[in-house]
Every structure is written in C-alpha cells, then in structure tokens.
C-alpha cells in the first residue's frame, strides 16, 4: 500500500467520525481530558520557554538574558535563594569544620615552641608538628589533609614552608599552628 492510498484511507476515516454532539457522556469526557492535556502541555511549554530566556547556557539568543559583568556585585555568584547557593554555603560550613578539626589535632599532637626562638615567655609560643607525624595521625580522620592545610594557611591559621607538602618528601617539614 503506497503513501497516497494511506492518506486517502485516513481522509475517508475522518469523514466517518460522528459530530461531538453524537458522542455519549464518556466520549465527551475523553475529549475534555485531551483538551486539558493540551492546555497543560502549552502551560509547561510557556514556562520552559520563559526559564530558557534566563538560562545563560541555552541557545536562546533573545536579548533579555541578563548576565552580570565582571566587577558587578553578583558576578560569579549563584542566584540568591537557589539550590546552588545553598550547596555552596553547606560546603563552606563543612570545610570550616574540617579546618577547625585540623587545628585541634595539631594542638593535641604538636609541641609548644618559642615563636621567634628568643624565649620571650608564653605569649611568643606556637605549636609545631612535623608533616609526617601529622599525616600519620590525620589519615584516620580525613584523606584531604593537604587541601585542608592549604585552606588553613589561606586563613592564616597555620604556616609551613613551600607551596605544597608531599608525603614522604616533606615528612620533616614543620607545620606551625599560628592561632
């Protein structure tokens, strides 16, 4: 059966369909639900189209997409109240707890020493520990010791020589707790 004969068959079938007034109540309810489906689909489509206008990664080239420029307050920040913002806050809280825990471990296993080596009393004292010893104790707590050390140094809570500490190579590097 060719394509033309299929079209003819469909057209003949459509002519045989009775008028909606001839349907029973069940059939009328079916046509109403199909109308509802169409309206729901159109509503979803309109909402999605509106959402895509604000999505900087969509291929929608309409000019109403507002992207903050460098130097503006919200540049590089997720929209306020979004799930992304909440995940960022949660991550920040988690990392802060890990930094505090690292400082507590250094206090517990480290040795107090004079800050400048001048013996000027308890005010000029800091706590130090070798990286190898810290690594051996901290490995049971977390596998992110170096990352947490870098974060603590950025917050000026600890100090150590070099940019990065490597297990084995830097086992004798001294990590100093500043606060």
For 36, the 3-state DSSP assignment is: helix
- pLDDT at residue 150, as a whole number: 93
Q: Tell me, yes or no, whether 45 and 112 share the same domain.
A: no
The answer on 88 and 49 residing in a single domain is no
**DSSP code per residue over 107-167:** HHH-EEEESSSS---GGGEEEEEEHHHHHHHHTTT-S-HHHHHHHHHHTTSEE-SSS---T
Instruction: Write the pLDDT tens digit of every residue in 152-172.
Output: 999 999 999 988 888 889 989
What is the pTM for the complete model shown? 0.55
Same domain for 49 and 95, yes or no, is no
Q: How confident is the model at residue 179 (pLDDT cuts 50, 70, 90)?
A: confident
DSSP letter (8 states) at residue 21: G
19 band by pLDDT with thresholds 50, 70 and 90: low
Residues 99, 163, single domain; the answer is yes
Q: What is the pLDDT of residue 24?
A: 54
Mode of pairing for the β-strands spanning 111-114 and 158-159: unpaired
**Co-location of 33 and 101 in the same domain:** no
Q: Which domain holds residue 168?
A: 83-177
Domain boundary among 11, 36, 53: 53
Does residue 171 share a domain with residue 125?
Answer: yes
pLDDT in tens, 60-114: 655 555 667 888 887 888 888 889 999 999 999 999 999 999 999 999 999 988 8
Q: What is the CATH number of the domain that holds 159?
A: 1.10.10.1540
In a domain, 65, yes or no: no
- pLDDT score, position 62: 58
Please indicate, yes or no, whether residues 115 and 30 belong to a single structural domain of this protein.
no
Asked whether the predicted pLDDT for residue 132 surpasses 70, the reply is yes
- 58 domain-assigned: no
- End residue of a domain, out of 53, 72, 93: 53
pLDDT band at 10 (very low <50, low <70, confident <90, very high): very low
Task: Establish if 72 belongs to a structural domain.
Answer: no
What's the pLDDT band for 11 if we cut at 50, 70, 90?
very low
3-state SS class at 57: coil
Structural domain total, the chain:
2
Contacts of 171 (CB under 8 A, 6+ apart): 130, 131, 132, 135
Residues 109 and 34 in one domain: no
pLDDT digits (tens, 9 = 90+) for 26-54: 554 555 688 888 999 999 999 998 888 77
Together in a domain, 96 and 163? yes
């Amino acid at each position: 059966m060719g394509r033309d004969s299929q079209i003819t068959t469909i057209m003949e079938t459509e002519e045989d369909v009775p008028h909606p007034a001839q349907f029973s109540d069940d059939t009328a309810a079916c046509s109403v639900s199909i109308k509802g489906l169409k309206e729901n689909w159109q509503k979803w489509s309109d909402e999605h189209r509106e959402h895509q206008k604000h999505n900087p990664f969509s291929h929608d080239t309409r000019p109403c997409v507002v992207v903050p420029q460098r130097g503006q307050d919200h540049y590089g920040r997720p929209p306020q109240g979004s799930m992304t913002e909440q995940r960022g806050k949660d991550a920040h809280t988690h990392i802060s707890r890990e930094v505090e825990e690292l400082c507590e471990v250094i206090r517990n296993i480290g040795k107090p020493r004079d800050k400048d080596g001048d013996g000027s009393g308890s005010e000029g004292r800091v706590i130090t520990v070798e990286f190898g010893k810290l690594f051996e104790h901290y490995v049971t707590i977390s596998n992110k010791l170096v990352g947490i050390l870098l974060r603590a140094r950025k917050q000026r809570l600890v100090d150590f020589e070099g940019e990065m500490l490597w297990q084995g190579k830097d086992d004798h590097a001294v990590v100093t707790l500043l606060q």
